[in-house]
Structure 1
Amino acid sequence: MPPTEQQNRPSEQRRGRPRSEAVERSIVEAVVKLLEEGASLTEVSIERVARTAGVGKATIYRRWKGKEELFIDVLKDIEPAGPELPGTSVRDDLIAMLESLRLRGLAKRSSALLYNVFAQMQHYPELWRAYHDTVVEARRRTGAEIVRRGIAAGEIRSDLAPDLVNDLFVGPMLLRTVLRPDAPLDDDLAARVVDALLEGLAPRPGRDLDG
């Protein structure tokens, strides 16, 4: 299963956790309900979630170590699903990756819940760090792996670090979704970014890119 599929599912498959989709769904929905009713992240305690979901606190702690870990799964649930990489070409996979970022940007613009949660997360370093380590880094690893395949296939120049090249692809989409929230997010934006960069990053004939 591609990492991008796993990273957007509630962590039902963590080793040692009893599985019950109905129970986990009720807990996640309880958190969403509380947030939609206007509760802040601070006010959403495990005890309050348990009461809203109709379960015991122990039931929650058997599945999540604490509130931060639970919030991460809630965010994965309400965010648009991660990309299913087609695997047909490096270009197609890069477009799928950027398209998922574009859709997340659109979702944050249209969903008051997502917007408010992300705005609040900036004030909770532990939660933001957990989200970064669990979700953002997983996306970065996926992007860097696609770039490595592009380098191996001779489609991307090999004298640049894969992490840097990945940032070049992701940067324009993050600029428009985070720093320029009013910038247009056209349907073909992902393809235009990828095509422009692939042209500029193509190996240059006559130069030994491997040093």
Structure 2
Amino acid sequence: MTQKNGRTGSAGAAAGPDGPGAAAPEPAPAAAASARQVPAPFAGCGPAPAPGEEAGTAVVRRGRPRSEAAEQAILEAAIGLLENGVPLADVSIEKIARTAGVGKATIYRRWPGKEELFVDLLRSVEPPDPVLPGTSVRDDLIALLESLRQRGLAKRTSALLHNVFSQMQLYPKLWAAYHHTVIEPRRRTGLDAIRRGMERGELRADLDVELVNDLFVGPLLLRTVIRPGATLEPGLPGQIVDAVLAGLRPPE
């Protein structure tokens, strides 16, 4: 995972060793899909719209379609470099391209820069975002906190995730990209669940939504960030939600 923060611009780099290469024919990826199946990058973090192209507008593109095999080979190459101990700062687009057996232009056609590539990579190896049942605020919040618990466990058991997250916060640009693309949408999911609970009368409506959200997610963040050795037992999300709900339900 190339360190994309501080040293490399997020939108395509200028000329230089990591800048987009000439538009040469795209070689087939040398590293075929490995045993680890990396999901395709999530929407919203790919290349920016072409000039004159509006977001959300269907555009007929010429040329061959994007190769999922190439994208997987690129992500696998970045993961392999990191798993082999290459520091985040040293994982360059050039190294990723060489390891994946593709040209640098192939990477830049899919990601504007290293920040976007790394955010996609992290999403590909993290647990998926939760689908909230919508049956009650309690059910929604337990599902949300269970996803946080699973992420906490993943970071403890995955040397890759632990290594990347320990380095990532040293690079403000990469951390900001991850926060904007991954953390903020998850936070909004929790806020929406709380608002629905207030509208349905399941929660007091006289409290600040942000504060209520912090009351629910705070204990898990404490155990995964500040106290990384604390237990994350399976029943923890339900215990947290029930304890906080006891003080937030409207009076009878």
TM-score, normalization by structure 1: 0.88
Classify 1:9/1:51 alpha carbon distance in 2 versus 1 (closer, same or farther; 3 Å): closer
1:159 maps to 2:209: no
Among 24, 34, 41, which residue is 1:10 paired with?
41
Aligned counterparts of 2:109 and 2:42: Cα–Cα separation in 1: 12
* Residue number in structure 1 paired with 2:113: 66
Query: Per-residue deviation at 1:79?
Result: 1.2
Which consecutive residues of structure 1, in runs of 5 or more, have no partner in the other structure?
Answer: 1-7, 206-211
Task: Specify the SS of the correspondent of 1:82.
Answer: coil
Tell me the amino acid that sits aligned with residue 170 of structure 1: V
Residue 27 of structure 1 deviates from its aligned partner by 0.9
Whichever residue aligns with residue 187 of structure 1, its letter is: P
* Residue equivalent to 2:81: 34
Q: Does the 8 Å CA contact 1:94/1:146 hold for their aligned counterparts?
A: yes
Q: Percent identity?
A: 64
Higher relative contact order (CA 8 A, sep 6+): 2
Deviations 1:18-66 (A, max 9, x none): 5432111111111100000111111110111111111111111111110
User: Which range moved further: 124-133 or 17-26?
Assistant: 17-26
2:120 maps to a residue whose letter is D
Structure 2 counterparts to residues 81-160 of structure 1, below 5 A:
81-160=128-207
Superimposed CA distance per residue, residues 60-90 of structure 1 (whole angstroms, 9 cap, x where no aligned partner): 1111110111000111111112212222222
CA contact (8 A) 2:40 2:72 kept: no
Match of 2:6 in 1: none
CA RMSD of aligned residues (A): 1.7
Secondary structure at 1:42 match in 2: helix
- Alpha-carbon distance in structure 2 between the residues aligned to 1:120 and 1:153: 43
Which runs of structure 1 show a deviation greater than 3 angstroms over 4 or more consecutive aligned residues? 12-19
Look up the match of 2:101: 54
For 1:127 and 1:12, locate their aligned partners in 2 and report how far apart those are by CA, in whole Å. 18
The runs of 5 or more residues in structure 2 that have no matched partner are 1-38, 51-64
How many residue pairs match? The answer is 198
* Pair 1:24-2:71 in alignment: yes
**Offset of 1:95 from its aligned partner?**
0.7
Larger helix percent:
1
CA contact (8 A) 2:40 2:68 kept: no
Equivalent residue for 1:208?
A: none
Q: Which residue of 1 aligns with 2:234?
A: 187
Letter in 2 for 1:10: P
Any conservation in 2 of the 1:12–1:19 contact (CA below 8 Å)? Answer: no
Task: Answer with 1 or 2: which has the greater Rg.
Answer: 2
1:16: how far off? Answer: 4.8
Q: Secondary structure at the match of 2:212?
A: helix
In 1, Cα distance between equivalents of 2:137 and 2:130? 14
